[in-house]
Amino acid sequence: MRIAIASDHAAIELKSELVSWLTDLGHEILDLGPNSSVSVDYPDYGYKLASTVEQGIVEKGIALCGSGIGISISVNRNPKVRCALVSEPLSAALSREHNDANVIALGARIIGIETAKSCVTTFLKTDFAGGRHNIRVEKLTNPQIEMN
């Protein structure tokens, strides 16, 4: 699968570990940075990731920062992208089944590397359930749809 990954300076180590692991698994990884520990602003990288997913350059995205909160908020500013901040695999599964999430966000200071890998594995292998969830996902993509 083609997957883009982006972080801030607090998560470059986790990013690097996930890039190696996913590459070894045969995925094609687009690393959007940063590539040093110099302090950066997470929205810059979140917006770049969201735009890369929106344009269809990749199928899925992985967003990382210290807590995962800041980068997930920035990715979700783009209505064509649905970013789920998770800290365990059940939420990673639900994000795909119910929300058709195309980006997963993880907090490098909150969860360990094996939990992160487990969340990503579940996120990549779980399908959207469709059905009653379709209209909800459509409302996330088109916020102007009327309340019913």
Catalytic positions, please?
65, 98
If binding is defined by CB under 8 A, does position 9 make contact with a copy of itself? no
Query: Which residues lie below 8 Å from residue 68, measured CB to CB, with a gap of 6+?
Result: 85, 87, 105, 106, 107, 108, 110
If binding is defined by CB under 8 A, does position 85 make contact with a copy of itself? yes
- CA dihedral sign of residues 56, 58, 59, 65: negative
Residue 50, CA distances (Å) to 22, 26, 46, 113, 131 in order: 20, 23, 6, 23, 26
If binding is defined by CB under 8 A, does position 143 make contact with a copy of itself? yes
Number of residues interacting with a copy of itself: please give it, by CB under 8 A: 42
Residue 18 or residue 101: which is nearer to a copy of itself going by CB?
101
Residue 25 or residue 130: which is nearer to a copy of itself going by CB?
130
User: What is the C-alpha to C-alpha distance for residues 12 and 29, in angstroms, rounded to an integer?
Assistant: 15
The interface mask with a copy of itself, positions 25-64, x = CB under 8 A, is --------------x-xxxx--xx----------------
User: What is the C-alpha to C-alpha distance for residues 90 and 98, in angstroms, rounded to an integer?
Assistant: 12
Q: How would you class 33 by CB atoms within 10 Å of its CB: exposed for 0-12, middle for 13-18, buried for 19 or more?
A: middle
If binding is defined by CB under 8 A, does position 147 make contact with a copy of itself? yes
If binding is defined by CB under 8 A, does position 98 make contact with a copy of itself? yes
Q: Where does this chain bind a copy of itself (CB under 8 A)?
A: 39, 41-44, 47-48, 66-70, 72-74, 76-77, 79, 82-88, 90-91, 94-95, 98-99, 101, 107, 110, 132, 135-136, 139-140, 143, 147-148
